[in-house]
Amino acid sequence: MEHYDQARYGPAGEDTNEPLLSEKDQTTVEVDSSLPDDLTRDEVELPSPEEPELARHYVRLSQQNYGVDSGPYPLGSCTMKYNPRFTEEAAALPDAAVHPDRSEDSLQGTLELLGDLQDYLGRIGGMDAVTLQPPAGAAGEFTGILVAEAYHEANDEGHRDEVIVPDAAHGTNFASAALGGYDVVEIPSGDDGRVDLEALEAALGENTAALMLTNPNTLGLFERDIETIAEMVHDAGGLLYYDGANLNALLGRARPGDMGFDIMHFNVHKTFATPHGGGGPGAGPVGVTDELADFLPDPHVREGDAGDYELYTPEHSVGKVHGFQGNWPVLVKAFAYIDRLGDDGLADASAKAVLNANYLAEQLDYEIPLGPFHHEFVASAGDQDAADVAKRMLDYGVHPPTTKWPELVDEALMTEPTEVETKDNLDDLADAFNAVAAEDDETLESAPNRTTARRIDQTTAARNPRLSWHDLE
């Protein structure tokens, strides 16, 4: 366990098991209520910790979890980058605490920030118009599909009922297209991990509504034929949709709009350092080319003739996809990040993301079958089980990569260190990878041994979650 640095990553093991507050000392509190007797109790048992014990309780719980504040979080494709505190401070400013249903004339500062963020994202993505409404990347995908559908309907091409998706695409691409009512046409990747042009040509036709694609793709590979792909899709009458999951690799260097994409969504949690997941609010803005701008959700922010800002409804709007103008505090954080870094800072972040991925890959004993890559890479665990590798890495105090996907690589270890990690952090990660690579199956199959929770049944947990601790009784 020489690689496990307890002082750095926090404690692990049985001695950190922390009881629930309900399992600690209780105090009986009498209840005096004006509600009917059959709706109330005379008394209730409540936890009664003193302030120091309460603080330590939550700190101990936090030490049993791992997040972007704990150390490297190299989940491939998810871009789990550190969330800087200055963006949190910006969103917590008193002037940011505005009710979204106030009148437009009393929301000018809010609308101006949203308008500026739309412009920023449009410039970054090479898009002509941007909506900030969608509350997550997947919601952005669905919004893009709705825009594509409305566009085809307006052009009397409602017969286009197929969306083409590569086999290595994110699962949300398949789901978004299906949720939008489209038949999903899956095409295989070529031997080099990129779009197979012959397979794409065979799939395209008069029923094609769109091709959903990300670039670089899930393997971290840049689609070198992207301009040809765009031409093929457009010649067939379809639209090209950009999944913004991997935009972190391109910032300041290439723009989806310049590649021929018509629609894209931005994962601000991946690219612009707003919090990622955890059940909280997110944001997945959608950008489109000029010919699709009239189909964006309602309302949209624009600058009026008098220099003020207003909300308006695009002429052929698909309607509302979220309340008000989107998740305002999350959008403030994205704006603050972009505004602080500027053009040079965003380009620098992208460069370091690519550099870190390539440096880390060079240090690993595992094989990396496909390349050259950009911000992420997919190694193969070879004869080891990738899921076992991930469990064992937890014992070394580091978070494992994404495993078993994409299926183009056997026992995939999909790894994205992001731009924020130092060389020392990357060396620690490489040490953990290589230590596990040298271990036997018996050791891997018993892992993890130093975490509070041992090996859980992930499939059952996902399908039949226990949502209350009472279920354990």
Q: What is the pLDDT of residues 127-173, one digit of tens each?
A: 999 999 999 999 999 999 999 999 999 999 999 999 999 999 999 99
- Residue 252 falls in which region: left (phi positive, over 0), alpha (psi -120 to 50) or beta: left
What local confidence, expressed as pLDDT, does residue 116 receive? 98
Does residue 275 surpass a pLDDT of 60? yes
Does residue 72 surpass a pLDDT of 60? yes
Does residue 363 surpass a pLDDT of 90? yes
Q: Is residue 295 part of a domain?
A: yes
Q: Specify whether the CB–CB gap between 134 and 265 falls below 8 A.
A: yes
367 vs 468 pLDDT, higher one: 367
Shared domain for 378 and 444, answered yes or no, is yes
Mean pLDDT (whole number) for 262-269: 97
Does residue 236 surpass a pLDDT of 90? yes
Shared domain for 189 and 210, answered yes or no, is yes
Q: Is residue 350 part of a domain?
A: yes
Average pLDDT along the chain:
92
- Residue 38 φ then ψ, to 5°: -75, -5
Does residue 1 surpass a pLDDT of 50? no
Shared domain for 269 and 201, answered yes or no, is yes
96-105, 179-188, 222-231: segment of lowest average pLDDT: 96-105
Shared domain for 297 and 392, answered yes or no, is no
Mean pLDDT (whole number) for 69-91: 93
pTM, entire model: 0.91
What local confidence, expressed as pLDDT, does residue 279 receive? 58
Shared domain for 156 and 114, answered yes or no, is yes
Does residue 271 surpass a pLDDT of 60? yes
- Pairwise CA distance, residues 399 & 199, whole Å: 37
Tell me the pLDDT tens digit for each residue of 384-429: 999 999 999 999 999 999 999 999 999 999 999 999 999 999 999 9
pLDDT band at 7 (very low <50, low <70, confident <90, very high): very low
Task: Name the domain boundary from 315, 340, 365.
Answer: 340
Shared domain for 52 and 89, answered yes or no, is no
pLDDT band at 6 (very low <50, low <70, confident <90, very high): very low
What CATH number does the domain containing 402 carry?
3.90.1150.10
Q: Each residue of 411-444: b (16+ CB within 10 Å) or e?
A: bbbbbbbbbbbeeebbebbbebbebbbeeeeeeb
Shared domain for 197 and 327, answered yes or no, is yes
Q: How far apart are the first and last CA of the chain?
A: 35
Mean pLDDT (whole number) for 19-33: 87
- Pairwise CA distance, residues 133 & 279, whole Å: 18
Shared domain for 229 and 377, answered yes or no, is no
Does residue 277 surpass a pLDDT of 70? no
pLDDT band at 16 (very low <50, low <70, confident <90, very high): low
Does residue 50 surpass a pLDDT of 50? yes
Mean pLDDT (whole number) for 169-196: 96
What local confidence, expressed as pLDDT, does residue 356 receive? 98
Q: Is residue 7 part of a domain?
A: no
Q: Is residue 378 part of a domain?
A: yes
Q: How is 317-340 classified by DSSP, letter by letter?
A: ----SSSTTS-HHHHHHHHHHHHH
What local confidence, expressed as pLDDT, does residue 328 receive? 94
Q: Is residue 305 part of a domain?
A: yes
Task: Name the domain boundary from 340, 371, 393.
Answer: 340
Q: Is residue 473 part of a domain?
A: no
Does residue 225 surpass a pLDDT of 80? yes
Shared domain for 167 and 253, answered yes or no, is yes
Q: Is residue 10 part of a domain?
A: no
5-14, 200-209, 374-383: segment of lowest average pLDDT: 5-14
Local structure of 129: helix, strand or coil: strand
Shared domain for 283 and 205, answered yes or no, is yes
Task: Name the domain boundary from 313, 340, 367.
Answer: 340
Does residue 186 surpass a pLDDT of 50? yes
Shared domain for 335 and 347, answered yes or no, is no
Shared domain for 112 and 204, answered yes or no, is yes
Which domain range does residue 46 map to?
19-63
What CATH number does the domain containing 216 carry?
3.40.640.10
Q: Is residue 3 part of a domain?
A: no
pLDDT band at 472 (very low <50, low <70, confident <90, very high): low
Mean pLDDT (whole number) for 452-461: 85
Does residue 9 surpass a pLDDT of 50? no
Total count of domains within the chain:
3
Does residue 10 surpass a pLDDT of 50? no
